Amino acid sequence: MKEQPIGVFDSGYGGLTVLKELVGQLPQYDYIYLGDNARAPYGNRSFETVYHYTLQCVRWLFDEGCPLVILACNTASAKALRTIQQLDLPRIAPENRILGVIRPTTEVVGNFTRTNHVGILATRGTVLSESYAIEIAKFYPGIEVYQQACPLWVPLIENNEHDKPGADYFVKTYTDQLMRQSPKIDTVVLACTHYPLLKEKIAAQLPAGSNLISQGEIVAASLADYLQRHPEMEARCSKGSRTRFFTTDSTEDFDNHASIFYGKPLRSTHIDL
């Protein structure tokens, strides 16, 4: 059978935290990861730019044979997913599918909160899109959503400063700003796939007993469920347990840095878009 991998896309490294869980929970499938590192971060970019870049990356993954693409980036899921699904997919690949990371997360958030006060930590783009507030209201109309943009966290992580003492100041700044919005927040979503690397530092700044949700496991469980409900798509996904990595920037930088996110060493290939 020709390789028909599941495509996993992120602006840079963050989606590797999701891919790690996908491969862990669903090891039988083939995967292709594409990080658009040359143009990352996406978090402060306009709607048009994020849409344009994401569409280019999705098309590349389709051309590589992916029948299904996961946008493992909240910013791309917030700003580009719906437009691509509704306007582009019917035209460019009507039989293919694209899934994001926001919906699976918002579907389960109500299982965690007891106070019905939920905090969202995300990039500025994701916060401004209001995607979390809109989606959570659909599933759990009783939940109050508080959002905090954390524009300095992705640069800290991308520059390998996330586990240094200097990062504590920036972690505290944004977690304090979130908690000042409501002391009743008992559940906080790491709504950016980079943020699991700051998880311990973030947890240390939140009140004891808070739930801190990262998305990898949730997205993997949701994909397993999706493939069970869509046997025609499941049959199209090839099962050779191969994972390949591509970056739009230097492979040397990618290979050196990516293992922090993926949990083990990897070798990437460069592509130009």
Residues of this chain that interact with ligand DGL (CB under 6 A) are 10-12, 14, 40-43, 73-75, 123, 126, 154, 192-194
Using the CB atoms, write b or e for 55-83: b if 16+ within 10 Å. bebbbbbbebebbbbbbbbbbbbbbbbee
Q: Which is nearer to ligand DGL, 68 or 120 (CB)?
A: 120
Q: Residue 61 CB, nearest distance to ligand DGL (Å)?
A: 17
Q: How many Cβ atoms sit within 10 Å of the Cβ of residue 49?
A: 15
In the set 66, 73, 150, 237, the catalytic residue is 73
Alpha helices in 44-152 (DSSP H): 47-63, 74-79, 81-83, 89-92, 102-108, 124-129, 131-139
Vertex 146 angle, CA 148 and 77, to 5°: 65
Q: How far is the CB of 37 from ligand DGL (least distance, A)?
A: 9
Q: Which of residues 178 and 237 has its CB atom nearest to ligand DGL in the complex? A: 178
Q: Which residue is nearest to ligand DGL (CB)?
A: 43
Pairing of strands 243-247, 6-10: unpaired
Nearer to ligand DGL, 40 or 109 (CB): 40
Residue 146 CB, nearest approach to ligand DGL (Å): 18
Q: State which amino acid sits at residue 205.
A: Q
CA distance 220 to 175: 27
66 or 197: CB nearest ligand DGL: 197
Smallest distance from the beta carbon of 71 to ligand DGL, in angstroms?
A: 9
Q: To 10 degrees, the CA torsion angle through 136, 35, 193, 252?
A: 180
Active-site residue (options: 57, 66, 150, 192): 192
Q: In this structure, what token pair is assigned to residue 37?
A: 């590192």
- CB 223 to ligand DGL: min, Å: 16
Pick 18 or 237: Cβ nearer ligand DGL: 18
CB 15 within 8 A of CB 193: yes
Smaller CB separation from ligand DGL, 41 or 119 = 41
Rounded to the nearest 5 percent, the helix, strand and coil shares of the chain are 50, 15, 35
Task: Please state the closest distance from residue 204 (CB atom) to ligand DGL, in A.
Answer: 22
- Compute CA 260 distance to the chain's CA centroid, rounded to the nearest angstrom: 16
73 included as an active-site residue: yes
Residues noted as catalytic: 73, 192
